[in-house]
Structure 1
Amino acid sequence: MESVGVGVEDESFEEYIDTSVVRSARLIYETYYDVHPELTEPPLGVAINRLTLRGKLIFNGRPVLLPQECFVPFQRMRE
């Protein structure tokens, strides 16, 4: 089966992520960490809706994104 689109492991998509989306992803991560301080493994990143800025942390696998969502890698949130 042929893969279509950009994979999560492909870093070329990162240059297109809006800074407000990155800030929101960082806030989602920080809020999660405040509630769950026992978290030892960092997430792969956050799948976030570009319109509502609501998102979820992704810890394993490849996220399946809706058309209005994007993936912000954990490394990008730490910059």
Structure 2
Amino acid sequence: MYALKQGQTEQSYNRNQPALIDPALIQAAGLIYHTYCEVHPEVTGNASGVAINRVNYRGKVIFIHHPALLPDECFVPLNQIESCVY
């Protein structure tokens, strides 16, 4: 094992730049989100995205900006779901 110097990270990335997500995951997340909107029309504008399992494409609509994810899950932000054309 090795120690990182203070302020140094193992991986450097820009939080403002969206992560590359498989288009099939974005499509599945869109279906989950749109189904949620149809079933719960009273809830509008509160979701931040969808946490979705990369293996079986099961997911849930998330209402916080930085969710804790399971190892096989990824977070698809709402702006990526809405901007994707599929």
Instruction: Give the TM-score category using the shorter length.
Output: 0.7 to 0.9
Structure 2 residue 43 is the aligned partner of structure 1 residue 39: yes
Task: Work out which of the residue numbers 21, 28, 49 in structure 2 matches 1:24.
Answer: 28
Q: Which has the larger radius of gyration?
A: 2
Return the TM-score normalized by structure 1: 0.80
| Aligned-residue CA RMSD (Å) | 2.4
Question: What is the CA deviation profile of residues 7-59 of structure 1, one whole-angstrom value per residue up to 9, with x for unaligned ones?
Answer: xx9244522x1000000000000000010111222411000000010001111
In structure 1, stretches of 5+ residues that fail to align are none
List gaps (5 residues or longer) in structure 2: 1-6
The higher relative CO (CA closer than 8 Å, separation ≥ 6) is in 1
Runs of 4+ aligned structure 1 residues displaced above 6 Å come to: 2-6
Q: CA 1:73–1:26 in structure 2 vs 1: closer, same or farther (change >3 Å)?
A: same
Aligned residues: 75
